[in-house]
Amino acid sequence: MVDLNHESGFIYGGAPADSAATRINGLIDAALVTERVSQPPRDYLGASRIGEPCARRLAFEYTRTPPDQGREFDGHMLRIFKAGHVFEALSIRWLRAAGFDLRTERKDGGQFGFSAAGGRLRGHIDGVIIGGPDIGVAWPALWEHKALNAKSWTDLVKRGLEVSKPIYFAQVQLYMAYLDVAVTLFTALNKDTQELFHEIAPFDPVKAQALSDKAVSILRAADAGELPPRIAAACDFYLCRLCPFAKRCWERTP
C-alpha cells in the first residue's frame, strides 16, 4: 500500500520540488513551442495586426521574416494566448445565458471572416450577435473579445477602445468594413478580477478606408521586394526597442 503520509521532498517542497517544478514547466513550454512551430505559417496580412503603427514591422510579418534571435514567442507567452481562449469561452457562455444570440461559427464549423486582395488580406471574427436584449444597438453586431491584465483593462475602461487599444480598434473597423456590419460590441475581461467591460464601437468608414489603403500599400511593397519606411529615425525609439525585428531592420540600409 502507498504511504500517503510519507514526507517526500517532491510533495512538501524544498530543492527537489523546486527542481521538479522547473522541469515540468520546461516540458510544458517546450510542448507549446513545438505545437506552434508545427502549425503552417500565416501566409496573409491579418486584420488583427493592421493597426500596428509600424508598416515595416507588418511587412516583415507578412513576408514571414524570422524574428531576431531570442525574440521568438516563448512558452510563457504561448500560455497567455491559450488562456485567452479559455476566458473567451467563458464570456461566450455568460453572454448567451444573458439572452444574446451570439454565433461563433458557421454551419460548417468554420469561423466567420473575410478575405480580400486575392486572399492576402484576411480577418476572422470572434462572433456575431444576431439578436438579444435592448442595449441601444441595432442587431446584428460583430463581437470581439480580449482578455487583459488589470492594468491594461483599467486603461481601456478609462480611455476607451480607440485611444487605449488602437490595434484592436483598427481590427474591428476593418472587420466591419469588409463584413458590412455597422457596429461592434467589444468585450474585455479582466483576467485578475473577472470584471467585464463592454464598449459599442460604431463603423467609421473614413478610418476603415485608411486602414485598407495601408494594407494595400504593404502588399504592394512586398510584391516589389521593398520595405516601407521605418517608424522612427533612431533605433532607441520605444517601439523599435520592443520590436522582434529591430536588429534586422536597423542593420539594413533605409
For 102-133, the pLDDT digits (tens) are 999 988 888 899 999 999 999 999 999 999 99
Strand-pairing partners, residue 198, are 187
Residues 140 and 20 in one domain: no
Query: What's the confidence (pLDDT) of residue 11?
Result: 47
Residues 34 and 50 in one domain: no
Residues 49 and 32 in one domain: no
Query: What's the confidence (pLDDT) of residue 172?
Result: 98
* CATH code at position 108: 3.90.320.10
**What's this model's pTM, rounded to 2 decimal places?**
0.86
Give the other-Cβ count within 10 Å of 123's Cβ.
Answer: 24
In the structure grid, which three cell numbers stand for residue 176, read together?
466591419
On whether residue 3 sits in a domain, the answer given is no
Strand-pairing partners, residue 45, are 121
On whether residue 227 sits in a domain, the answer given is yes
Query: What's the confidence (pLDDT) of residue 9?
Result: 46
Residues 18 and 63 in one domain: no
Q: How far is the C-alpha of 164 from the C-alpha of 229, rounded, in Å?
A: 25
Residues 112 and 227 in one domain: yes
Query: What's the confidence (pLDDT) of residue 5?
Result: 55
On whether residue 2 sits in a domain, the answer given is no
On whether residue 193 sits in a domain, the answer given is yes
Residue 26 belongs to domain spanning:
9-38
Q: CA separation (Å) from 187 to 8, 130, 139, 193, 208?
A: 46, 16, 16, 15, 20
Residues 25 and 117 in one domain: no
Residues 118 and 227 in one domain: yes
Residues 166 and 242 in one domain: yes
On whether residue 148 sits in a domain, the answer given is yes
Residues 32 and 123 in one domain: no
On whether residue 1 sits in a domain, the answer given is no
User: Any idea which residue has 444570440 for its cell?
Assistant: 101
Q: How many domains does the chain have?
A: 2
Low-confidence ranges of the chain (pLDDT < 50): 8-13, 15
On whether residue 4 sits in a domain, the answer given is no
On whether residue 116 sits in a domain, the answer given is yes
Residues 244 and 147 in one domain: yes
Residues 32 and 98 in one domain: no
Residues 72 and 187 in one domain: yes
